[in-house]
Amino acid sequence: MKAIIIGSGLGGLLSAAKLSKAGHDVEVFEQLPLIGGRFTNITYKGFQLSTGALHMIPHGPSGPLARLLNDVGAEVTIVREKPAAVIRIPRKRGDTDYKFGHKDLLFEDFKLPFSLINRIKLAFYIIYTRKNPPTEGSFDEWCTKHIEQEWSHRISDSFFGWALSLRSSDVPVEEAFEIIENLYRYGGAGVPLGGCKAITDALAGIIRANGGIIHTSAEVTKIVTDNGGIKGVVSEGQKYISDLVISDIGHSATVDLLDSDAESTEMQNYINETKKLKPSAGVKICLSSDKPLIGHGGVLLTPYAKRINGINEVTNMDPALAPAGKHLTMSHQCVCEGDIDELEKEIELGLRDLEDIFAGKNYEVLLIQSYSNGWPVNRSSSGTDLTNSTPVRNLFVVGDGAKGKGGIEVEGVALGVEQTMKEILE
Ligand code: FAD
Number of domains in the chain: 3
Per-residue pLDDT of 363-383, as tens digits, reads 999 999 999 989 999 999 999
- Please give the pLDDT value at position 262: 64
Q: ipTM value of the model?
A: 0.99
In this structure, are 162 and 298 located in the same domain? no
Atom number in ligand 1 closest to CA 371: 36
**DSSP bridge partners of 41:** 50
Atom number in ligand 1 closest to CA 10: 51
In this structure, are 161 and 298 located in the same domain? no
- Please give the pLDDT value at position 99: 87
Q: By alpha-carbon position, which residue is closest to atom 32 of ligand 1?
A: 53
Assess contact for 282 and 293: CB atoms under 8 A: no
Ligand 1: distance of its center to the CA of 10 in Å? 7
Atom number in ligand 1 closest to CA 378: 45
In this structure, are 331 and 359 located in the same domain? yes
- Residues flanking ligand 1, CB < 6 Å: 6-12, 29-32, 37-39, 52-54, 56-58, 219-220, 248-249, 282, 284, 332, 371, 377-378, 399-400, 409-410, 413
- Please give the pLDDT value at position 294: 97
165 — phi, psi (to 5°)?
Answer: 60, 40
Q: By alpha-carbon position, which residue is closest to atom 39 of ligand 1?
A: 53
In this structure, are 157 and 222 located in the same domain? no
**Neighbour tally for 317: CB within 10 Å:** 21
Half-sphere exposure of 10 (CA within 13 A, CB side): 34
Half-sphere exposure of 234 (CA within 13 A, CB side): 10
Which residue range(s) make up the domain with 258? 2-40+194-276+382-425
Q: By alpha-carbon position, which residue is closest to atom 38 of ligand 1?
A: 53
The domain boundary, picked from 162, 186, 210, lies at 186
Ligand 1: distance of its center to the CA of 52 in Å? 7
In this structure, are 165 and 209 located in the same domain? no
CA dist 303 and 105 (Å) reads 12
- Cα distances (Å, whole numbers) of residue 123 to 59, 85, 176, 348: 24, 20, 17, 39
CA dist 253 and 400 (Å) reads 13
Assess contact for 265 and 348: CB atoms under 8 A: no
- Peptide bond between residue 83 and the one before it cis (omega within 30 degrees of 0): yes
Atom number in ligand 1 closest to CA 377: 36
- Please give the pLDDT value at position 85: 95
CA dist 344 and 368 (Å) reads 11
In this structure, are 285 and 364 located in the same domain? yes
In this structure, are 226 and 245 located in the same domain? yes
Assess contact for 29 and 4: CB atoms under 8 A: yes
**Neighbour tally for 146: CB within 10 Å:** 16
In this structure, are 264 and 395 located in the same domain? yes
End-to-end CA distance of the chain: 14
In this structure, are 269 and 386 located in the same domain? yes
The domain boundary, picked from 131, 153, 186, lies at 186
Mutate to test the pocket of ligand 1, among 40, 249, 413 (most ligand atoms within 8 A of CB): 249
**Neighbour tally for 216: CB within 10 Å:** 13
In this structure, are 284 and 336 located in the same domain? yes
Q: Please list the rounded mean pLDDT of every run of 10 residues in the chain (426 residues).
A: 98 98 98 98 97 97 98 97 95 90 95 96 94 94 96 97 97 96 94 98 98 98 95 97 98 94 85 94 98 96 98 98 98 95 96 96 98 94 95 97 96 98 96
Assess contact for 310 and 332: CB atoms under 8 A: yes
Ligand 1: distance of its center to the CA of 130 in Å? 31
In this structure, are 127 and 150 located in the same domain? yes
Ligand 1: distance of its center to the CA of 39 in Å? 6
Mutate to test the pocket of ligand 1, among 4, 38, 299 (most ligand atoms within 8 A of CB): 38
Atom number in ligand 1 closest to CA 410: 25
